[in-house]
Amino acid sequence: MSARDPLAGRRARAIRAKEWAQVWLDPSTFGLVVLMPLILMFLFGSAVTLDVHGTRTGVLDMDHTRASRELVATLGRNSYFAVQEGQSVAELEAGLKTGELRGFVVIPDGFEQGLVRLEPLDIQLVTDGSQVNTATFLTGHLRGALKEWVEAEARELDIPVTPVLKILPRYTYNPGLESRYMLVPGAIGIVMAMIGSLLTALIMAREYERGTMEGLLATPIAIPNLVISKLLPYYVLGLASTAICVAVAVLGYGLPFRGSLLALFLIASAFLAAVLGQGLLISAGTKNQFVSTQFALLSGFLPSLLLSGFLFEIDSMPRAIQWLTYIVPARYLIPSLQSVFLVGDVWQLFLPNIAILLLFGLFFFLRVTRAITRRIA
């Protein structure tokens, strides 16, 4: 039996002290232990909500009587609706197509007379079926609001029997309210965001760790050319990944593809320009693969999942979080993808989103070239 080492305790204490020193000096540990829990708790506690408030809802009053105007005013006072009055069905359908509205209500001609005569009245509700949860909530909240209003109206008019208001829902683009019609295009956007940011987040960090970055910077190639040359292979890989996802969605899950391949290509290219540039900027700033991966997940994957409108309605988030979503590139991708699959080519929606995504890409490109230029200087 070997004798007990009298220095074993001292060695163990030295190792523990060394580990604590590494913990305090390693920024990635601080990110994992402090920043990530704070960010996750903030997002899930403040941004993520299954409640629906302020849903952009159009109203077309075809009766223009006291009762119909009172119904419009009642809907406007309801926190579940953000009412926008329209002048025609075509105008409201256009708003539904571009995403400006989530649904609209049509109050028919002869509405007030029907109330007085106790005739069953049909209220048409047209909703965007590509947003399954919002369409379901909108139908339910409208049904409740109409029930309360008609009971109050019956008391005011001293009608002994409450008139019957029947909602006739119509779900555009997804008549069966199949959830995969909403989830699969959104999932493609999340995959693109994750793959794009993670791929390029490791590029320069790997070069720094291997010690080959200095050799690249010593070559006479211009910095913008270096950055573009670094990005191009991953841009092609990103397009290939997008094509695979779209093929699985259409052939495997039976989603319709009502848009054009040109629109899909332009949308995907603009988004990849943004997320690839974002990942490369992370890589240039951290110079460490592990830290780069952490930052890519925190700045790319999580915001794309939670703040893009994919799963949770942006209009229902707190005002400060709504403003925060404007700097999430996936916010501009996912509605465009859903339109390409379910609606068709809606260039009024596509072109502004593509322009914003290209601005994101330009910003990240300039930041990366500036960071590398500073390192050389």
CATH number, domain at 166? 3.40.1710.10
Alpha-carbon distance of 23 to 4, in angstroms, equals 30
Q: Is the dihedral of CA 227, 377, 216, 293 positive or negative?
A: negative
Where among 172, 189, 224 does a domain terminate?
172
Number of domains in the chain: 2
The tens digit of pLDDT for each residue in 334-345 reads: 999 999 999 999
**Residue 16 within a domain:** no
The mean pLDDT of 72-82, rounded to a whole number, is: 89
Least confident range from 40-54, 67-81, 105-119: namely 40-54
Phi and psi at residue 261, in whole multiples of 5°?
A: -65, -30
**In the numeric block, which tokens belong to residue 44?**
């899930």
Q: Is the dihedral of CA 59, 65, 67, 69 positive or negative?
A: positive
Tell me which residue has tokens 């993520």: 48
Q: Are residues 166 and 191 in the same domain?
A: no
**Residue 80 within a domain:** yes
Range of the domain at 350: 179-376
Asked whether the whole model's pTM tops 0.75, one would answer yes
Report which of 73, 55, 186, 182 is spatially closest to residue 125, judged by C-alpha positions: 55
Q: Are residues 219 and 346 in the same domain?
A: yes
Q: Are residues 149 and 241 in the same domain?
A: no
Q: Are residues 62 and 184 in the same domain?
A: no
Q: Are residues 370 and 333 in the same domain?
A: yes
The mean pLDDT of 257-271, rounded to a whole number, is: 95
321 Cα distance to chain centroid: 12
Q: Are residues 147 and 220 in the same domain?
A: no
The residue type found at 341 is: F
Choice between 109 and 217, residue whose per-residue pLDDT is larger: 109
**In the numeric block, which tokens belong to residue 47?**
């941004």
Where among 149, 172, 195 does a domain terminate?
172
Tell me which residue has tokens 């703040």: 307
Least confident range from 14-28, 46-60, 248-262, 317-331: namely 14-28
Q: Are residues 149 and 199 in the same domain?
A: no
**Residue 25 within a domain:** no
Element (H, E) at 124: strand 121-128
**Residue 4 within a domain:** no
Tell me which residue has tokens 């920024």: 27
CB atoms within 10 A of CB 376: 9
Where among 150, 172, 194 does a domain terminate?
172
**Residue 47 within a domain:** no
The mean pLDDT of 124-133, rounded to a whole number, is: 87
Alpha-carbon distance of 329 to 344, in angstroms, equals 21
**Residue 292 within a domain:** yes
Contact yes or no for 227/369 (Cβ under 8 A): yes
Q: Are residues 194 and 136 in the same domain?
A: no
The tens digit of pLDDT for each residue in 268-317 reads: 999 999 999 998 888 877 777 777 887 888 788 888 888 888 888 888 78
1 pLDDT higher than 60 = no
Q: Are residues 157 and 199 in the same domain?
A: no
115 pLDDT higher than 60 = yes
**Residue 193 within a domain:** yes
Q: Are residues 213 and 318 in the same domain?
A: yes
**Residue 102 within a domain:** yes
Q: Are residues 70 and 126 in the same domain?
A: yes
Q: Are residues 343 and 320 in the same domain?
A: yes
